[in-house]
């Protein structure tokens, strides 16, 4: 990939890319993206909408002069968020999963941020001009209707399904395809189940809130007995409020670490699946061409053979790029999951300690009050 | 026992206090002669009118009752028991503290356990073991075990309610019947819901007995003692009488009687009006709270289910994973989630058995309290009716004065005396029930605060325990996550 001299290297540091703010105007979300210039201490800030991200992704897909492009595992771009009022939460959840949760689009912004960081960290993709201009140009590039990428999402046509299960010529790739099929399915299910857990935790928190409020309504100062009872009700109300905050925290911890992590993993597995599918399609094309060449009449044969050689070259290039991508993907995803798992565990541990302390204090206070 | 000695010294004081508390000289004339013992147990002859005779109350026998009442002024309404135990029937406010103390040093433990299914099919029923451990001497042994079925509990409650409710005593209501729940058990479904149902019922029966014996009068009641001690108990019939729904019916009947009263009760005592309003409000609030907490329990159970599903999916993910350390960490994650599911289940039980059942119990108790207020109104109505009747008799006598029918005149005069007696009785009954209710409500409110405090502490203990378990689980998982290379 070093031969692509037309593309300049990225002028900002990949790690410094942040989405610092998001504003909503009716249906449209605008993201503020900040990054740090490599050669100076200067920072850059630009404003982009989802169309711009889409433009970037399409530009990456249609990058010319990148041999073996089809072998690249492209960082997955989250779906477009549709924040309009008519969009119910169920629709949003179906569309975005975890990224629909969290306040003020925080999870969604985080996911977009990951996307940019991963593109910028990719040894090949970071050189694309589109990325640099996306991150630096004050004018948003989305207005230019770029060439539509040659890659479409994996269609569900029966035809495609058949191709997907086409036997491979290379054991390494056959194994990888099998593993990927399992992992993609398992991580998708795990993400959905965790999402269910988080939704229930949030519902539980809301129910606690209602109960705590209802307890407040039992306050009555008519006489000494009523006052004593009211105090007890208020105490219980405080305890239930604490339980509510507990569950809110637990849910938010789940969301911001493991939830995001599983969501990312799941989408990345899909992206790898698409890459492997592209290669399989190329393989099928090659095999088809070979058969055609064998059957070709003498006058056509030379042309066919030349064509076959070209396809072979393409296929081999894709395979070698894919191999590198797969290895890179394996090591990076383990690191990423590790970070998320540690973060998740630490957050939940801290929350558990915090609330163990709080409940203990309440218990102590009750014991002191009630022993008199 | 020192308890006894102390109490008997007080009992003498009781009698003196009674003397000073006497309202009218006529009361003194009502001697033991008027007090006719009638049968113990449910008044089956007239279940609707719990006011059969004014002397009825006297027959609430503590076995030690002695006819000292013939000497001098004595309360005809309720007996003064000179038993060495705490006297509870009619006490002036000063003595309430002692009663309370005795409630606090209350030495009796009751447990309901070991539910066992007896029989098959639709005739099957559950038997529960009732164990009483106590050092109180009214019991014949330190520890007694008996076997009882649900209808026995209902029968006990039925007897207690018909004996005491019209006196203004708050009789704790028995647990609700449940046709659906019980049918599942009978039919033999060994699933989770019928196990939960039996546990719920067992717990409710235990709380019912504990509340009943906390009441000093009920503790001494022979039906209660018989229930707790004797190995054989006559089968309770017509137990639809006083389940929670039964009490509601009784309350409604009393309310109807009140509504039919020709004269609206002239409430001279603001306390009763205020309290009645308070309890009406409390009823509404408690019902709302109960609904709220049931929603909480429901969501907690849902969380438990979803956590289990997530644990399974995490285990599958771990199995699909090639990388050894990551695979191991994911399997550990699945295990942690399984343990957390267990915690959620335990917490859901705490939510339910501690808070939800407490609120449910109090909703039913408040119904019993309101029933007792209605009994008072009924007593007032009866008193008023007696006064009206007396007036009519007097008018009739006045007419007969000039009719020269000597037998009829004599009869009229007899009737006047009879109704004068009834008026006095009516007034005494009314005042008695008013006093009883004041005391009962005061005690109820104290117990209520105690009950709720105990529950809050138990609930907090369960919360602390859960969190400490969670800390253990997360601390165990952290090195697994960090070990991923």
pLDDT digits (tens, 9 = 90+) for A75-124: 999 998 877 655 567 777 888 888 888 788 899 999 999 999 999 999 99
Higher pLDDT, A362 or A95: A362
Q: Does B474 touch chain A (CB under 8 A)?
A: yes
pLDDT for res B411:
86
The alpha-helical segments, DSSP class H, found in B44-114 are 96-104
Under-50 pLDDT residues of chain B = 1-95, 101, 240-242
Token pair recorded at residue A175: 């194994």
Distance CA B62, CA A221 (A): 40
Residue B117, H or E segment: strand B108-118
Inspect the interface and report whether the beta carbons of A349 and B446 lie closer than 8 Å.
no
CA–CA separation, B285 and A229 (whole Å): 13
Taking CB atoms and an 8 Å limit, are A204 and B292 in contact across chains? no
Q: Which residue of B has its CA nearest to A215?
A: B289
B330-347 confidence digits (pLDDT tens): 999 999 999 999 999 999
Contact call for B292 and A207, based on CB within 8 A: yes
Q: Choosing among B317, B340, B362, which should be mutated to test the A contact, i.e. which has the most A CBs within 10 A?
A: B317
Is any Cβ of chain B less than 8 angstroms from the Cβ of A372?
no
CA distance A246 to chain B (A): 10
SS3 B200: helix
Q: Which of A207, A218, A359 sits opposite B463 (nearest CB)?
A: A359
Helices A50-61 and A129-136: angle between axes, nearest 10 degrees: 160
Chain position carrying tokens 């009825």: B56
Question: What is the predicted pLDDT for the residue at B8?
Answer: 40
- Tally C-beta pairs within 8 A across A and B: 166
Q: Which residues of B touch A235 (CB under 8 A)?
A: 456
Query: According to the model, what pLDDT value does residue B136 have?
Result: 85
* Chain A contact present for B475, CB below 8 A: yes
Report the pLDDT value the prediction gives residue B76, as an integer from 0 to 100.
37
A227 close to B (CB below 8 A): no
Contact B285 A218 (CB under 8 A): yes
pLDDT value at residue A8: 61
**DSSP label at B429?**
H
Q: Is A214 on the interface with B (CB under 8 A)?
A: yes
pLDDT attached to residue B71: 32
b/e burial code for range A351-363 (CB count within 10 A of at least 16 → b): bbbebbebbbebb
Distance CA A265, CA B315 (A): 16
Rounded to a whole number, what is the distance in Å from the CA of B452 to chain A's nearest CA?
7
Q: Is A216 on the interface with B (CB under 8 A)?
A: no
- Residue A199: what pLDDT? 94
* A194 reaches B (C-beta below 8 A): yes
Place of tokens 């405090």: B453
Contact assessment for residue B290 and residue B358, using Cβ atoms and an 8 Å cutoff: no
Of the residues A227, A356, A370, the best mutation for testing chain B's interface (the one with the most B CB atoms within 10 Å of its CB) is: A356
Query: pLDDT tens for residues A193-221?
Result: 999 999 999 999 999 999 999 998 888 88
- Residue A348 forms contact with B (CB below 8 Å): yes
Query: Chain A 143-172, CB below 8 Å of chain B: which residues?
Result: none
Nearest chain B Cα distance for residue A294, angstroms: 41
Residue A141 confidence (pLDDT): 76
* pLDDT at position A150: 54
What is the DSSP annotation of B364-412?
A: HHHHHHHHHHHHHHHHHHHHHHHHHHHHHHHHHHHHHHTTT-HHHHHHH
Which residues have a Cβ under 8 Å from the Cβ of A16 and sit 6 or more positions away?
A34, A35, A36
| Set of chain A residues whose Cβ sits within 8 Å of the Cβ of B470 | 348, 352, 356
Is B470's Cβ below 8 Å from some Cβ in A? Answer: yes
Q: What is the pTM of this model?
A: 0.80
Q: What is the pLDDT of residue B402?
A: 79
Integer CA distances (angstroms), A35 to A50, A220, A357, B384, in order = 18, 58, 40, 91
**Looking at the predicted structure, is the pLDDT value of residue A143 above 80?**
no
Cα–Cα separations (whole angstroms), residue B81 to B67, B84, B100, B162, B438 = 10, 8, 18, 21, 21
pLDDT (average), residues A154-173: 76
Query: Which of A194, A348, A363 is closest, CB to CB, to B457?
Result: A363
Greater pLDDT, B48 or A355: A355
pLDDT digits (tens, 9 = 90+) for A278-289: 999 999 999 999
pLDDT score, position B77: 36
Crossing angle of helices B222-229 and B150-164, in 10° steps, is: 170
The CA R_g of chain B, rounded to the nearest whole Å, is 29
What's chain A's Rg over C-alpha atoms? Answer: 27
């Amino acid at each position: 990939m070093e031969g692509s001299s037309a593309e300049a290297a990225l002028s900002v540091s990949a790690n410094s890319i942040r989405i610092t703010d998001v504003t909503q105007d009716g249906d449209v979300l605008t993201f503020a993206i900040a990054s740090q210039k490599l050669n100076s201490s200067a920072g850059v800030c630009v404003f982009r909408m989802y169309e711009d991200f889409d433009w970037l992704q399409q530009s990456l897909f249609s990058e010319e002069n990148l041999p073996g492009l089809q072998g690249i595992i492209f960082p997955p771009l989250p779906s477009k968020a549709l924040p309009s009022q008519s969009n119910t939460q169920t629709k949003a959840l179906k569309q975005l999963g975890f990224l629909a949760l969290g306040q003020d689009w925080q999870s969604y912004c985080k996911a977009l941020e990951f996307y940019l960081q991963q593109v910028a960290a990719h040894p090949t993709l970071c050189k694309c001009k589109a990325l640099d201009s996306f991150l630096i140009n004050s004018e948003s590039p989305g207005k230019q209707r770029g060439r539509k990428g040659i890659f479409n999402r994996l269609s569900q046509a029966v035809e495609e399904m058949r191709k997907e299960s086409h036997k491979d010529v290379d054991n390494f790739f056959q194994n990888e395809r099998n593993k990927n099929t399992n992992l993609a399915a398992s991580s998708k299910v795990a993400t959905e189940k965790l999402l269910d857990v988080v939704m229930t935790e949030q519902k539980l928190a809301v129910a606690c809130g209602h109960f705590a409020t209802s307890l407040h309504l039992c306050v009555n100062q008519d006489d000494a007995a009523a006052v004593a009872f009211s105090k007890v009700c208020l105490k219980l109300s405080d305890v239930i409020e604490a339980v509510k905050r507990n569950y809110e925290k637990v849910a938010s911890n789940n969301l911001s670490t493991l939830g995001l992590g599983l969501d990312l993993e799941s989408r990345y597995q899909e992206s790898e699946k698409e890459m492997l599918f592209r290669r399989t399609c190329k393989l099928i094309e090659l095999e088809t061409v070979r058969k055609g060449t064998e059957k070709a009449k003498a006058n056509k044969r030379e042309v066919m053979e030349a064509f076959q050689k070209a396809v072979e070259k393409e296929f081999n290039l894709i395979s070698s790029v894919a191999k590198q991508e797969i290895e890179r993907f394996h090591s990076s995803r383990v690191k990423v999951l590790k970070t998320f798992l540690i973060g998740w565990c630490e957050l939940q541990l801290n929350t558990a300690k915090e609330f163990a302390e709080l409940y203990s204090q309440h218990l102590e206070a009750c014991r002191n009050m009630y022993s008199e | 026992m020192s308890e006894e000695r102390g109490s008997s010294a007080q009992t003498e004081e009781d009698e003196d206090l009674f003397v000073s508390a006497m309202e009218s000289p006529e009361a003194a004339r009502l001697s033991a002669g008027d007090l006719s013992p009638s049968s113990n147990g449910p008044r089956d002859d007239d279940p609707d009118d719990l006011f059969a005779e004014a002397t009825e109350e006297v027959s609430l026998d503590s076995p030690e009752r002695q006819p000292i009442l013939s000497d001098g002024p004595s309360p005809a309404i309720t007996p003064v028991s000179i038993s060495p135990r705490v006297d509870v029937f009619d006490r002036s406010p000063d003595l309430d503290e002692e009663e309370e103390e005795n409630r606090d040093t209350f030495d009796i433990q009751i447990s309901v356990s070991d539910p066992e299914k007896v029989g098959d099919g639709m005739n099957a029923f559950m038997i529960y073991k009732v164990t009483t451990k106590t050092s109180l001497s009214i019991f014949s042994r330190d520890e007694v075990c008996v076997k009882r079925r649900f209808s026995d509990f209902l029968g006990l409650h039925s007897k207690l309610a018909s004996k005491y409710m019209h006196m203004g005593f708050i009789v704790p209501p028995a647990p609700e019947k449940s046709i659906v729940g019980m049918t599942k058990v009978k039919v033999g479904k060994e699933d989770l819901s019928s196990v939960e149902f039996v546990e719920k019922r067992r717990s409710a029966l235990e709380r019912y007995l504990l509340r009943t014996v906390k009441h000093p009068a009920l503790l001494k009641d022979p039906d209660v003692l018989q229930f707790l001690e004797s190995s054989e108990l006559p089968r309770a019939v017509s137990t639809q009488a006083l389940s929670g729904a039964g009490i509601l019916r009784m309350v409604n009947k009393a309310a109807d009687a009140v509504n039919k009263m020709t004269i609206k009760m002239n409430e001279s005592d603001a306390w009763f009006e205020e309290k009645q309003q308070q309890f009406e409000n409390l009823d509404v609030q408690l019902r709302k709270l109960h609904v709220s907490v049931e929603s909480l329990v429901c969501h907690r159970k849902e969380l438990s289910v979803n956590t289990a599903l997530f644990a399974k999916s995490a285990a599958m993910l771990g199995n699909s994973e090639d990388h050894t350390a990551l695979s191991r960490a994911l399997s550990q994650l699945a295990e942690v989630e399984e343990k957390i599911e267990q915690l959620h289940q335990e917490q859901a039980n705490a939510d339910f058995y501690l808070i939800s059942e407490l609120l449910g119990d109090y909703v039913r108790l408040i119904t019993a309290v309101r029933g007792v207020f209605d009994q008072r109104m009924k007593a007032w109505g009866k008193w008023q009716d007696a006064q009206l009747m007396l007036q009519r008799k007097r008018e009739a006598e006045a007419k007969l004065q000039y009719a020269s029918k000597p037998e009829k005149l004599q009869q009229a005069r007899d009737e006047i005396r009879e109704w004068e007696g009834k008026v006095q009785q009516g007034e005494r009954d009314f005042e008695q029930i008013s006093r009883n209710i004041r005391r009962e409500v005061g005690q109820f409110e104290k117990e209520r605060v105690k009950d709720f405090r105990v529950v809050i502490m138990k609930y907090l203990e369960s919360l602390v325990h859960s969190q400490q378990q969670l800390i253990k689980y997360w601390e165990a998982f952290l090195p697994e996550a960090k070990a991923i290379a």
